Amino acid sequence: EVQLVESGGGLIQPGGSLRLSCAASGFTVSSNYMSWVRQAPGKGLEWVSVIYSGGSTYYADSVKGRFTITRDNSKNTLYIQMNSLRAEDTAVYYCASVIGSNWFDPWGQGTLVTVSS
């Protein structure tokens, strides 16, 4: 069974840094496109970043220059390093596999990041 499990969320002060992890089982992270999607409290879904199997990375304008997506093939784990965090980065962060180059499936259960002083 394919499963994604996020971790690393928590309360962080504005300007701080946090790294989220997404451990995968049942498939190989490095062979798939992988992405992060976030959801602010009570709001809709917002795509954050994607990493292609070849290693290319892309970001939403809202996080470009502050967030970095990476993966550890030996641990079969996806990461996102979040720097210079702002209140508007407060959200549940989901990792997801990207199928057919376009669609998110499956999704992890999400991890909550709260940016507040």
We find the least distance from the C-beta atom of residue 110 to other proteins, in angstroms, to be 6
For residue 57 the two structure tokens come to 């990375």
If binding is defined by CB under 8 A, does position 102 make contact with other proteins? Answer: yes
If binding is defined by CB under 8 A, does position 105 make contact with other proteins? Answer: yes
| Cβ-count burial 48-58 (b if 16+ within 10 Å, e if not) | bbbbeeeeeee
Q: How many CB atoms lie within 10 A of CB 69?
A: 21
Name which position in 21, 23, 27, 46 contacts other proteins (CB under 8 A).
46
Name which position in 5, 27, 30, 60 contacts other proteins (CB under 8 A).
60
Name which position in 5, 27, 66, 106 contacts other proteins (CB under 8 A).
106
Cβ(12)–Cβ(117) below 8 Å: no
